[in-house]
């Protein structure tokens, strides 16, 4: 059976034009997807049912026991951490946030090690953004700064920028100017019209210089700024000002380098400045499938996009203090629920060590590095393959991911709903009868 317009569950491009062939409840073909997406549809490796380690090996446990164990762990903790969320649905994320609220825990998402710094910057200066169709239909100048879409978001160039014709650009490849800024000539840099080769850690200074140049203050700019010549900076300033519509994309080359969110703030303020001359927008190249969905739902439920601490019964937010890596590195939490991510593979070593010292429950379809630290793992369906649900594209467009297989696994949201319900039952949360 050929299924059309399937939504890719891999990255936050959320390409929704995939043709997927399903035969015998198995994916046998994926068309239109990039290599990364196609692999995800065909990955096996699913855990058959809830398991926990014992002295003799890994034992299967029933779903009821598994949920009971999770509830006990969360209710007895003094500072539980609930972390993950990037590859599941908004519906599941919402439940996770409500669980944190109910138990007085900290809830954080993979955002904190991805575009968390972008959010901190946006909270200082705002975000001149757009949906990706604006870029596709209008942008004649595109900048990729500190990101390598060819390897990380392979269809970004063909769907939205370089190779994508739009309403106002009939021959995009010829009509668009592509600028790439990075500390090394990546695959993406190779296809650019202009490559800005920065020294490591030089982003902030170069962006500051560009802001001054766009403001017409070229006088005090030295001959080189972090490896970039003044002449090139002046040239880029002109290209940007003369654009009809410019689009600035950036990735972890800005969020993870020294200065962190201040780099992004500087990029945003450059785009603000350019809007005095022409139209510019800026978009973070978010990585995981639904990492932005977490930010959205966490915001409407708690007021903050990630890293929310409910230990006092109200939402407190302070990345750097209430973020997962910091909490684990400081060994602050005494239990951890991991959902739809793999912190053991993606956190610095010393942060992972603490996971070995506290009870950990993981809700995830596959055996991963975090499994090694689990006191219990509950396998679930993969959102976008055998469970449906809402996901937010990197630009904020919500799309409903489809269920194309039925492999008998519950969705994350089903497990989390049961956990939430049991916690509330145990805490006797009931509607109050008015007098």
Partner 1 sequence: MTELLLRNACVIDPLNRVNGDVMDIAIRDGWIVESVGNGAEVIDARGFLTLPGGIDSHTHICGTKVNFGRYMMPEDMRAGRTIRKGVMHATSGYSVPTTYGNSYRYSAMGYTSILEGAMAPLEARHTHEEFSATPLQDTMANTLFDGNWPVMEAVKEKDVKRAAAIVAWTLAAVKGFAVKLTNPGGTEAWGWGKNVTCIRDPVPHFEVTPAEIIETLIRANELLRLPHSVHLHCNNLGAPGNYQCTIGTFDLVPDLNKERQSLYATHVQFHAYGGTSWKDINSKAEPVAYSVNRKPQIVIDMGQMMFGKTTTMTADGPMEWNLYRLHHNKWSNHDVELETTSGIIPVYYSKKSLVNCVMWAIGLELALLVKDPWQCLLATDNPNGAPFVRYPEIIGLLMSKRYRDEEFRTIHPDTGKRVILDTLDRELGWHDIAVMTRAGQAKALGIAKIGKGHLGVGAEADIAVYPIRIRDTDPSRDYAAVVSAFQRTAWTIKRGRVVCRDGDVVVEGTNRTIWANSRVPEAFDMGRDPEFVKKFDRYYTVRMANYPVQDAYIPRSGCIESEAVL
Partner 2 sequence: MRFMLFSGRTIRQGNAVESKLSPEYRDATSVLSMTPFDMMEAGLDEGDAVLVSGPGGQVVLTVKADEHLPAGHVFLPYGPYANHLTPTETHATGMPDYKAIPVEVEPAEGKPVTVWELMRDLGGVPHAP
Partner 3 sequence: MRVILTAKPRKKPLIPVEAETIIPRHFRQGRDLTVWEGNRERSLRDIFDVMVERTAAAAEEVEVILRGDVSRFKRVGEYMDAGKITIEGDIGMHCGNFMTGGTIEIHGNADGWLGREMRGGRILCHGNAGHYAGSGYRGEKFGMKGGTLEILGNAGDFAAEYLAGGEVIIHGNAGDLPGVEMVNGTLTIHGNCSRPCGNMTGGTCTVLGTVRGMLPTFRKNSTLLHGSDKIPLTVFEGDIANRGKGILQVREYSYDD
Interface positions with partner 3 (CB under 8 A): 77-79, 103-105, 120, 123-124, 199, 201-202, 204-205, 208-209, 211-212, 215, 217, 219-227, 258-259, 262, 265-266, 269, 310-312, 317-321, 330-332, 334
Which residues, 69 to 128, sit near partner 2 by CB under 8 A?
108, 112-113, 116-117, 120
Does 144 participate in binding partner 1 (rule CB under 8 A)? no
Q: Which stretch binds partner 1 (CB under 8 A): 227-235, 313-321, 372-380, 410-418?
A: 313-321
Output the smallest distance, CB 313 to partner 1, in A. Answer: 4
User: Which one of partner 1, partner 2, partner 3, none interacts with residue 185, CB within 5 to 8 A by kind?
Assistant: partner 2
DSSP three-state, residue 219: coil
Closest CA to 33 of 60, 59, 15, 51: 15
Please, which residue, 30 or 268, has the CB nearer to partner 3? 268
Q: Find the binder of partner 1 among 21, 22, 131, 321 (CB under 8 A).
A: 131
Partner whose footprint covers residue 90, from partner 2, partner 1, partner 3, none (CB < 5 to 8 Å by kind): partner 1
Stretch in the footprint of partner 1 (CB under 8 A) among 68-76, 170-178, 250-258, 309-317: 309-317
Cβ atoms of residues 221 and 208 within 8 Å: no
Rule CB under 8 A: choose which of 134, 266, 368, 422 binds partner 2. Answer: 368
174: Cβ contacts below 8 Å, ≥ 6 apart: none
Nearest to 263 by CA among 113, 110, 111, 122: 122
Give the integer Cα–Cα distance in Å for 268 and 37: 30
SS3 301: helix
Report what 44 binds from partner 2, partner 3, partner 1, none; CB cut-off 5-8 Å by kind.
partner 2
> Which stretch, 186-194, 374-382, 388-396, 415-423, contacts partner 1 (CB under 8 A)?
388-396
Residue with tokens 């978001």: 153
In the set 290, 390, 413, 422, which binds partner 1 (CB under 8 A)?
Answer: 390
Q: Does residue 161 interact with partner 2 by CB under 8 A?
A: no
**Strand bridging mode 308-309 / 316-317:** antiparallel
132 interacts with partner 1 by CB under 8 A: yes
**Residue 60, beta-bridge partner list:** 51
Q: Which is nearer to partner 2, 80 or 117 (CB)?
A: 117
For residue 81, the Cα-to-chain-centroid distance in whole angstroms is: 19
Stretch that binds partner 1, among 63-71, 193-201, 222-230, 304-312 (CB under 8 A): 304-312
- The string of DSSP letters for 366-425 reads B--GGGGG-SEEE--PPBTTTB-EEEE-TTS-EEEEPP----SPPPHHHHHHHHHHHHHH
CA–CA dist 98, 81 (Å, integer): 13
What is the smallest separation between the CB atom of 425 and partner 3, expressed in angstroms? 19
Strands 308-309 and 57-60, how do they pair?
unpaired
Residue among 270 and 405 whose Cβ is closer to partner 3: 270
**Rounded to the nearest whole angstrom, what is the least distance from the CB of residue 306 to partner 1 in the complex?**
10
**Integer angstrom CA distances of residue 140 from 133, 246, 279, 396, 424:** 13, 6, 11, 22, 54
CB-based contact 373:360 (threshold 8 Å) = yes
Nearest approach in angstroms of CB 416 to partner 3 is 19
Residues 143/246, Cβ–Cβ less than 8 Å: yes
Nearest distance from residue 21's CB to partner 2, in Å? 19
Exposure class string for 73-103: b at 16+ Cβ within 10 A, else e:
bbbebeebbbbbbbbbbbbbbbbbbbbbbbb
Smallest gap from Cβ 212 to partner 3, in A, equals 5
Nearest to 124 by CA among 311, 261, 286: 261
Q: Which of 121/212 has CB closer to partner 2?
A: 121
C-alpha span between 166 and 149 (Å, rounded) = 20
Alpha helices in 275-338 (DSSP H): 291-302, 324-329
In whole angstroms, how close is the CB of 11 to partner 3 at the nearest point? 27
Binding site partner of 132, from partner 2, partner 1, partner 3, none, Cβ cut-off 5-8 A by kind: partner 1
Can you give the binding site for partner 2, defined by CB under 8 A? 10, 35-36, 39-40, 43-45, 51, 53, 57-58, 108, 112-113, 116-117, 120, 148, 151-152, 154, 183-186, 199-201, 252-253, 255-258, 260-261, 287, 307, 319-321, 323-326, 328-329, 342, 344-353, 355-357, 366-369, 371-373, 377
């Amino acid at each position: 059976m050929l299924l059309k317009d399937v939504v890719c569950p891999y990255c936050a491009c959320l390409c929704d034009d995939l043709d997927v062939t399903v035969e015998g409840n198995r994916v046998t073909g994926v068309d239109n997807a990039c290599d990364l997406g196609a692999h995800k549809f065909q990955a096996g490796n699913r855990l058959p049912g809830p398991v926990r380690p014992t002295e003799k090996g890994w034992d299967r446990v029933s779903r009821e026991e598994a949920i009971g164990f999770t509830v006990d762990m969360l209710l007895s903790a003094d500072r539980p951490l609930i972390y993950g969320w990037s590859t599941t649905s908004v519906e599941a994320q919402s439940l996770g946030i409500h669980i944190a609220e109910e138990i007085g825990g900290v809830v954080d998402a993979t955002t904190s090690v991805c575009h968390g710094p972008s959010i901190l910057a946006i909270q200082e200066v705002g975000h001149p953004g757009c949906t990706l169709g604006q870029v596709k239909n209008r942008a004649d100048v595109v900048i990729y700064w500190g990101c390598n879409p060819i390897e990380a978001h392979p269809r970004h160039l063909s769907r939205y920028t370089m190779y994508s014709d739009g309403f106002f650009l009939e021959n995009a490849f010829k009509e668009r100017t592509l600028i790439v800024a990075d500390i090394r000539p990546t695959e993406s840099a190779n296809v650019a019209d202009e490559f800005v080769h920065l020294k490591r850690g030089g982003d902030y200074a170069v962006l500051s210089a560009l802001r001054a140049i766009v403001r017409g203050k070229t006088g005090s700019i030295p001959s080189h700024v972090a490896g970039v010549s003044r002449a090139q900076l002046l040239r880029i300033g002109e290209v940007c000002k003369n654009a009809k519509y410019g689009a600035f994309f950036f990735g972890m080359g800005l969020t993870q380098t020294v200065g962190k969110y201040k780099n992004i703030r500087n990029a945003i303020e450059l785009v603000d400045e350019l809007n005095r001359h022409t139209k510019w927008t800026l978009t973070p190249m978010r990585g995981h499938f639904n990492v932005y969905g977490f930010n959205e739902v966490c915001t409407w439920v708690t007021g903050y996009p990630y890293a929310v601490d409910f230990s006092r019964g109200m939402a407190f937010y302070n990345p750097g203090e209430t973020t997962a890596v910091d909490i684990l590195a400081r060994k602050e939490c005494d239990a951890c629920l991991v959902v739809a991510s793999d912190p053991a593979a993606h956190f610095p070593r010393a942060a992972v060590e603490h996971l070995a010292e506290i009870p950990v429950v993981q809700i995830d379809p596959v055996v991963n590095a975090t499994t090694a630290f689990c006191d219990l793992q509950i396998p679930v369906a993969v959102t976008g393959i055998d469970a449906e649900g809402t996901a937010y594209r990197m630009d904020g467009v919500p799309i409903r991911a489809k269920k194309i297989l039925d492999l008998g696994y519950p969705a994350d949201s089903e497990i989390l709903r049961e956990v939430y319900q049991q916690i509330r039952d145990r805490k006797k949360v009931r509607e109050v009868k008015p007098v």
